Amino acid sequence: MKVAACAAQGGSMQEFRERLAAAMREKGIRASRLASETGLSPARISQYLHGVYQPKGDAILRLAEALGVSAMWLMGEDCPMTASAPAGASAGLPDNLLPLQLRRYPLLGDIACGKPIVAQDNGDSYVSAADTEADFCLIAKGDSMVGARIYDGDEVFIQQTDMVNNGEIAAVVLDDEATLKRLYYYPTEQKLVLSPENPAYEPLVFTGEELNHVHILGRAVAVQGRLR
């Protein structure tokens, strides 16, 4: 999924609720159904629509996914409602050079590269970086992914999706805990394995009913950190 560059501005609660209502009208979805598809309570959806409360973190991603819109657009950024290809190179540069396009990515909190940690909301924070296919950013904590060159304190850019390919690095929420691991799914065995990139850590294995407690936020598409 390609995400168009967005102007660096934060949206107000009023703008968020207007965009949420507009997306619901366009999709023809009622609050009760949106609550069911996102796992949020109908009361919470009502609070969003009346401007009583503005969601952060995982709630924004769930709403955007259910409505088929860009999470950044929903948050009030000046960008297309849905994903599109990035703009082409600016004129006036030599043929062998392309402009560096910077974007602001919502920083949604920390992601464990070790034992899972409590999922956090930092919905008012942003990270500036070169344009990628990502929708948001998380800060790596721990050393379980050093084999993939993801170190403690690195900024990990995540493309929002609930489906990843075997062997891809995924941001996953386990109930209220978040972790970053390489994901493997075995459908015939109904087994999901979240594998670290450090032999000091054991894989996390989920089977049967345990799979209902696993929510995939997206795949890691880029990392930003100091040179090591």
Which one is catalytic: 27, 125, 128, 144? 144
- Residue 55 CA to residue 43 CA, distance in Å, equals 13
Q: What are phi and psi of 105, to 5 degrees?
A: -110, 135
Tokens 């999901």, residue located: 192
For residue 220, what are its two tokens? Answer: 């890691």
For residue 192, what are its two tokens? Answer: 């999901």
- Amino acid, res. 75: M
Q: Enumerate the β-bridge partners of residue 103.
A: 129
For residue 31, what are its two tokens? Answer: 């609050």
For 139, 186, 191, the CA distances from 212, given in Å and listed in that order, are 25, 15, 11
Which one is catalytic: 12, 181, 191, 195? 181
For 3, 137, 186, the CA distances from 207, given in Å and listed in that order, are 34, 29, 10
Q: Let me know if 2 is a catalytic residue.
A: no
Q: Let me know if 56 is a catalytic residue.
A: no
Just list the catalytic residues: 144, 181
